Each structure stands twice: as structure tokens, then as C-alpha cells.
Structure 1
């Protein structure tokens, strides 16, 4: 006959041989005095669902109830109980031992964040001896997820039909190996939303992959190159680009620096988002990666890590989307980005910026948190 549990202070206590049966052998719960153990509501519901418990007494005077009554009572008493139960059961069925990621349960000290619901140990490992393989944050399809601090967690997203999609989020900046130093004597003309360099030096596009040449079948102009405002602002901030002229200069000061004039134009056409993209662009170039527009992929940038020549250009490795530090993802948004990146064989990376956008220096020096997200099959 299977044992009966007793709900006390939001934990289900089970006596008899429960420690040997459930904790020692299968990693459920936490040991109490003697052979008694305490189970979280999710663990108890899973054992009840499997038939390993005969019932659970909800209070001192009640008769033991079955899975249906206990599930409904727990859903009313515990936040997000139903989605957490679905994820817990799925991972148990995949062969993982799990612990609730809060004290006094065994997994409480292993959780990297309060947002984590469970920790899943390496297959075959128990809470006593196992290493954490997945810190699990459970999210419903209609909830939101803070971008900050996401790195290091595994997201388990439960959709409206109770299907579960797992995402692995990792930290770490993008590092490249492109060996190119742009010249310091570039001169361009600021147009409405780009800068034209009429006499670009050899290698500037071919090896540095800056800008895009003005070309055509009947072109009689050589060396003309269009730079995006982000490219131009970064080069001007480094003292490598000056302006010989500008069209409709919104800075209102013809004596302002080239960097200030290009940034002012960028803010005019794009708003404060320009400053965040500029900060990320500059950081990628400083890391010897080559960022180019990611517009075709719905991202801010695509990156090339090792460019030797544009004629022998490798596939880009990342899609980079720039978001504010306090951004919150909807699971649908996250799924779309990651699915698209995977479909074109790239890694999806989010750059979280916290600059206030007052000056180039403040933005460029602002901290950037890098988070890469990919689909995961546990």
C-alpha cells in the first residue's frame, strides 16, 4: 500500500519509509527527523499523479484527497502552480532529478537567481551528490521575462496548449579576430541618413568591411563609399572621419565636431535608440568583430568574426538585437527571434545597454550585458 501525505505549512510530510523510498532513491523532497520527508506541493502532486502516494490530507480533520482535489487546491494556493507542475513532470519524465530552487529544499543554494523555480541535476545524480545541469525558470506564454540577469538560466515556456519549449540563456561578449585598422584621414559628406566618402582608401571596404560602394553597371565613379550613420559616428568618435560638408545639419552649429554632428543626425532619424546601437557597434568593433546591419533578419546587427577580405566573406555568426537594460521579453517575441536566428544558422544575441544617451562618451562607456539565447532539448 502506498503512503499518505499530510499538508502542513505549504509542505507535504510523508512518514514511514519515505526517506528511503523517495529521497534517497529518487531525489524527492528533503529529509526531516527519522525517515520522514517534506515534499513541495509540485513534488507531492507528481507522486500523487504517478500513484506513488495514496492520498494527501489537506488539514488535520480531512480525509486524504486524490490528485484532482490536491491539484485544484494547490493551484489556488500557490503562484503559477499549474505551469510549474507541467515543467516538473516533463523533466522528471526525461530522467532528471529536480529540487525546488528555494531554501530549505536541497536546490535552494544552487539557484543563481530568485527567478529560478527548479534546479535539474545531471541525469542519474541526486540532490546530495549531483551537479546542477539546468537552473529552470518557468514562464507562461503570456508572462514576461526580464532581460537583465537572464544569462545562466534555462527558460521553460509553457504555451496555451501546455506544450513546453526550452531556451538556454548564456552570457559572454562577442569576440572577433578581424585584423584591420581603419585610416585616420577619412573625409565624408553628411547626407540625410548616411555619410558618403568620395575617395575611400584601398582596403577600407575590402578588408575592414566598412560601408557599401556606390556601384552600377555603367558607373564612371570609383572609390565612392556609403557609410551608415552608426558606422560614421563610430569612426568620427575615434577621430578617423571628418566632414567636408553636411546637408540640413540639425546640430545647428557648423563648428561642432564631426562626431557630434553625425550623432545629432542619428538621433533625429532614429531617436535615443541610435545611442544604444552606437554603443554596441563600437564595442563590437573594439572586440575585432565586424557588425553590419541585421535589417534583413529583423535584428540590429549581424556579425562577422574573422574578415580577411570581402571577396572571401564567411557566413555571419550572430544576430544582435539591442535592447534597454530594463527590457522585458514576451515569450512569443523571444521565440520568434531565436527561431529566425536558428533558421539562418546564426546565434541570437541580445545586447542590454544602460547608457543615458547624453554624450557619445557616456554611451560608449556604459555597461553592456550580452545574453545569447538558443533552443534547448534537455
Structure 2
């Protein structure tokens, strides 16, 4: 004989031998006095779905209802109940014990934040003894997800056909081991959307992987190197590059404190405030001995190389980096596209979160207290 539940204050109470049957043995709910337990709506629906409860009374003196009516009533009463139920059921089927992590749901003593819907424990371990394996945040395909604070969670995205895709979000900056120091006497000409260094030393590109040489089968010009505005602004900010508006002006041009500001201003003309955010991330990556290059071909801001010795023996890039504002909200479709593309080209997808006002632009960790950039790495996960 299966017990009956009673809905009270958004939790379902079950008496009899419920504690031994459901909590002690299988990690459902929260123990109350005696052998009674309290279940969240999702937990109760799952037990009802499995046939472990005979029914649930929705009000005092009401007749118990079956799964269909309870599911529909809960979907109307509880926020995003349907998608949460789907994820809960899927993880239970995969062998995990889970605790709900939102008030007024019982459990969740290990919940890291109120954005987490469930915590899934190590397989075979109960809420009393187990360590949290996955803090689960559930979202529907058409919802949005705050980028800041996402690190450390497992994102469970439920699409319109009720399929579930899991993403692991982790915190961790990109650190490289490229040993290269640019020369301090570079001069260049500022063009519309790039800077050309006409007499660049060979190792600036060959070992530092700065810029792109002007080359071709019919080329009769040597040493000309095209720098992106981000590369040029970073070199100018470090007092390694002076810029001018023409070749004539560049001859004998002395370094000017406005060199970096001039390039940054051109960058803002070309792409607006986004340039400041990209520059902040570029400088942080270079300060960490990683080499950032354009990620345009992959739909990203940068691709990164962690250990560059020579361009002739260049390894595969390890990361794709997108720069977003700290208050950015992802759409699940956006995340899926980025992560799928990065995985398809054997790279890790990383997001650099920076302040929208650009206050940290151009500042490296040595110039600030800590890293002004929040790093977020996201990958597909199979629990």
C-alpha cells in the first residue's frame, strides 16, 4: 500500500513510514517530527510519477489526485515547474540523489546561491552524507542567464522538445608561457583601422606573434607589419610604439604620451565602447604570457596561444574568447552555438566579463588590486 501526500504551504507532507522509505533510503525530502517528511512539489511529482505515492490531496478534506492533475496544478502554481521536473527526473534516472535549493522547498543546505534549483550529490550518496557534485541551475530555451556569478554551476537547459543539455561553468583565468619582450623603439603610421610598422624587426611577428606581415609573391617590400588597433594600443600604452598620421611624420617621431590615446580614440571611432573592453582583455592576456589573436573566423573576439616560440612552429590555439559586459545575460541558444563551435574546432570556450563603463580598461593585474576581469569557461557536460 503506497502512502498519500497532503499539500500544505507549497510542500507535500507524507506520513507513515515515509522517512524510512523515501528519505533514509533514497534521499527524498526533509524529515519532520516522527516518521513524517516534507517534499517539494517536484519531488512529490516524481514519486507520484513512479507510482510510489498513491495520490496527493491538494487541500484539506480534498480527495487525492493523480500525477496528471498534480502536475498541471503545480505548473500553474510554481515558477517553471515543468522544466524543473524534467531535469530532476533526468538526473534521478542517471543515479543521482538531489535536494531542492530554493525556498520554500525543503533541503538545499549546501546550495551555493538562490539561483541554484537543485544540488546533485555524488552518486550513491545521500543529502546527509554526500558532497555536492553539481549545483544545478535550470533554464528553459527561451530564458536568459546572467553571466556574472554563473561560474561553479551546472546549467541545465531544457529546449522546446523537452530535451536537456548540460553545461559546466567554471571560473579560471587564461595563463600562458610565451616568453617574449617587444622592442621599445617601434614607430608606425595610424591608418583608418590599423597601424603599419614599416621597419618592424622580424621577431616582433616571428616570436611575439604581433601583427600580420605585408607579403605576397610579387612583394618587393620587407619589414612591413600590419598591427590591429588593439595590438597597437597595447604596445603604445606600454611605451613601445609611437604613432603618426603619415610616413613623413613618422621619421624621427618622438614618443608622445598621446600615442596610446590616439590609437584608442581611433578604435572607439571604429567599434565604439566595445573596443575598450576588448583592449582590457587583450592586455590582461598578454600580461599573463598568452598570445591573443583575432577570433573573427570563429565568431569570437580572440583565439589564444599559450606557448609561442616561433610562428613557423605555431601550435593550435587553445581557447576562443568572447568579451562581454559583466551584466551581460546569455541566451541558451547563444551559449550552445559558442560552445558547440569551440568544441568542433578543439578549443575551450571562455568568456571575459568586464565592466561596461570601461573603468578597468588598459589596467593590468599589476596596476590593480586583483584581476579586474571575471573569467568564465563553459563546456558541454554529460552528468
Greater alpha carbon shift after TM alignment, 81-90 vs 361-370: 361-370
In structure 1, C-alpha distance between the alignment counterparts of 2:104 and 2:76, rounded to whole Å: 23
Does structure 1 conserve the Cα–Cα contact (< 8 Å) formed by 2:168 and 2:379?
yes
- Give CA deviations for 1:359-378 in whole Å, capped at 9, x if unaligned: 85569858211001000010
- Displacement over 6 Å in runs of 4+: none
SS at match of 2:108: helix
In structure 2, the residue matched to 1:295 is 296
Answering whether residue 380 of structure 2 is matched by residue 375 of structure 1, we say yes
Instruction: Give how far 1:357 is off.
Output: 3.1
Answering whether residue 262 of structure 2 is matched by residue 261 of structure 1, we say yes
- Give CA deviations for 1:295-348 in whole Å, capped at 9, x if unaligned: 000000000000011111000000000001111011111100000000000000
In structure 1, C-alpha distance between the alignment counterparts of 2:184 and 2:328, rounded to whole Å: 37
- Give CA deviations for 1:15-59 in whole Å, capped at 9, x if unaligned: 111111000000000000111100000000000000000000111
In structure 2, the residue matched to 1:281 is 282
In structure 2, the residue matched to 1:45 is 45
Greater alpha carbon shift after TM alignment, 129-138 vs 237-246: 237-246
In structure 1, C-alpha distance between the alignment counterparts of 2:228 and 2:111, rounded to whole Å: 43
SS at match of 1:187: strand
- Give CA deviations for 1:158-182 in whole Å, capped at 9, x if unaligned: 0000000000000010000000011
In structure 1, C-alpha distance between the alignment counterparts of 2:270 and 2:105, rounded to whole Å: 53
Aligned residues between the structures: 373
In structure 1, C-alpha distance between the alignment counterparts of 2:120 and 2:47, rounded to whole Å: 17
Instruction: Give how far 1:107 is off.
Output: 4.5
In structure 2, the residue matched to 1:335 is 336
- Give CA deviations for 1:67-122 in whole Å, capped at 9, x if unaligned: 01110111111000000000000000000000001367674231222110000001
In structure 2, C-alpha distance between the alignment counterparts of 1:201 and 1:373, rounded to whole Å: 38
Any residues of structure 2 matched to 1:1-378 within 5 Å, and which? 1-102=1-102, 107-246=107-246, 257-354=258-355, 356-357=357-358, 360-361=361-362, 367-378=372-383
In structure 1, C-alpha distance between the alignment counterparts of 2:107 and 2:276, rounded to whole Å: 41
- Give CA deviations for 1:182-236 in whole Å, capped at 9, x if unaligned: 1111110000000000111131111100001110111111111000000000000
SS at match of 2:71: helix
Does structure 2 conserve the Cα–Cα contact (< 8 Å) formed by 1:107 and 1:119?
no
In structure 2, C-alpha distance between the alignment counterparts of 1:246 and 1:74, rounded to whole Å: 70
User: Where does structure 2 lack aligned partners over 5 or more consecutive residues?
Assistant: 250-254
Instruction: Give how far 1:154 is off.
Output: 0.4
In structure 1, C-alpha distance between the alignment counterparts of 2:194 and 2:326, rounded to whole Å: 28
In structure 2, C-alpha distance between the alignment counterparts of 1:172 and 1:103, rounded to whole Å: 30
In structure 2, C-alpha distance between the alignment counterparts of 1:331 and 1:269, rounded to whole Å: 29
- Give CA deviations for 1:111-139 in whole Å, capped at 9, x if unaligned: 22211000000100100000100000000
In structure 2, C-alpha distance between the alignment counterparts of 1:206 and 1:107, rounded to whole Å: 58
In structure 2, C-alpha distance between the alignment counterparts of 1:295 and 1:35, rounded to whole Å: 61
User: Where does structure 1 lack aligned partners over 5 or more consecutive residues?
Assistant: none
Does structure 1 conserve the Cα–Cα contact (< 8 Å) formed by 2:280 and 2:363?
no
Instruction: Give how far 1:244 is off.
Output: 3.7
SS at match of 2:205: coil
Q: CA RMSD, aligned part only? A: 1.9
Does structure 2 conserve the Cα–Cα contact (< 8 Å) formed by 1:305 and 1:316?
yes
Does structure 2 conserve the Cα–Cα contact (< 8 Å) formed by 1:171 and 1:371?
yes
Normalised TM-score (structure 1): 0.95
